């Protein structure tokens, strides 16, 4: 939540700065938003910023046209959403381009500075840069003194326990669990964590009752990525959806997994209002007291 508020603050401040400055170069840099990483997070972020610029803030300023803002998505692979089937990857690319997102695929971002970043031989001046290419795991993993992978995730056995420590189970994006059927590490996403959580609880009860813990098998129900209003892709294995059908499936699944009927109703009406009004919430610029309290580097 704190990161989301900070991202909103920086995006709104960039438009406010562009509104006040009369330097064309500074204004162009302020209205350029770069997202590094073309996975589900980066794709959703690029689509959200593009919609905010083109619709939500379209009439909020006098001296600038927010819809002229540049949203650039950088991805090292040839297409975005590397884990999805190729037809959905191409569909996601088309949907992003329809929103005005510039996609730089097959390249890497380097030389990130306050003024901008470099993509190949080109330096892109920009005030807002968002990293969506993955993060290291929590420091807790390395603090345990057990084997970890290069991202800091704890290497676990097939029953989610640490080798030599059957009393400790690690789940979610802190666990480096290799699926024996594919030989690949499971991604650090919520469906994996939810299934691992239920399995860990079952194994803990089994050990309390003197029974042997069972190995964990992940059931992949499919993958979805939202891009914007009526724009999404969904890989349901036998069925590939894109556009409005995928967006409706994504919205339904997310509402149904909320805890409590009241929360589902509240979110449904909030999303319905946002759908018809393109209103993506309060335009509040908050202060980052945590960042301000840090000593200078």
The answer to whether the CB of 274 falls within 8 A of the CB of 280 is yes
Choose the catalytic residue: 2, 44, 86, 122. 44
Q: How far is CA 102 from the centre of its chain?
A: 18
CA-CA distance, 188 to 170, in Å (whole number)?
12
The per-residue DSSP string of 59-110 comes to TS-SS--GGG-EEEEEESSSSS-TTS-HHHHHHHHHHHHHTTEEEEES--EE
Locate tokens 């929103």: which residue?
99
Q: Which residue from 124, 108, 118, 169 is spatially nearest to 144, judged by alpha carbons? A: 169
Locate tokens 């998505």: which residue?
73
CA-CA distance, 281 to 270, in Å (whole number)?
9
- Tokens encoding 156: 């676990």
| Annotation marks residue 44 as catalytic | yes
> Any alpha helices (H) in the chain, and if so which ranges?
2-20, 24-30, 40-51, 86-98, 139-143, 190-208, 244-256, 261-277, 289-292
Strand partners, 74: 36, 104
Q: How far is CA 170 from the centre of its chain?
A: 22
CA-CA distance, 26 to 30, in Å (whole number)?
6
Active-site residue list: 44
């Amino acid at each position: 939540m704190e990161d989301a508020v900070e991202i909103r603050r920086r995006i709104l401040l960039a438009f406010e700065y562009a509104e006040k400055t009369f330097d064309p170069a500074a204004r162009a840099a302020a209205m350029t938003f770069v997202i590094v990483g073309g996975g589900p997070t980066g794709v959703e972020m690029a689509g959200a910023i593009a919609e905010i610029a083109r619709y939500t803030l379209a009439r909020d300023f006098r001296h600038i046209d927010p819809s002229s803002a540049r949203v650039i998505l950088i991805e090292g692979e040839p297409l975005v959403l590397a884990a999805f089937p190729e037809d959905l990857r191409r569909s996601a690319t088309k949907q992003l381009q329809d929103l005005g997102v510039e996609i730089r695929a097959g390249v890497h971002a380097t030389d990130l500075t306050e003024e901008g970043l470099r993509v190949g031989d080109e330096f892109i001046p920009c005030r807002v840069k968002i990293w969506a290419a993955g993060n290291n795991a929590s420091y807790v993993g390395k603090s345990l003194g057990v084997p970890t992978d290069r991202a800091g995730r704890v290497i676990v056995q097939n029953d989610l326990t640490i080798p030599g420590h059957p009393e400790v189970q690690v789940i979610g994006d802190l666990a480096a669990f290799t699926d024996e059927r594919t030989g690949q590490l499971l991604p650090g996403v919520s469906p994996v964590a939810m299934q691992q959580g239920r399995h860990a609880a079952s194994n803990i009860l089994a050990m309390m009752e003197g029974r042997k813990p069972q190995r964990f098998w992940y059931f992949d129900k499919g993958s979805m990525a939202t891009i914007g209003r009526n724009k999404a892709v969904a890989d349901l294995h036998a069925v590939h959806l894109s556009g409005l059908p995928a967006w409706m499936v994504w919205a339904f699944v997310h509402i149904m997994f909320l805890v409590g009927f009241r929360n589902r109703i509240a979110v449904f009406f909030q999303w319905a209002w946002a759908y018809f009004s393109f209103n993506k919430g309060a335009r509040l610029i908050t202060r980052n007291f945590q960042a301000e309290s840090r000593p200078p580097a």
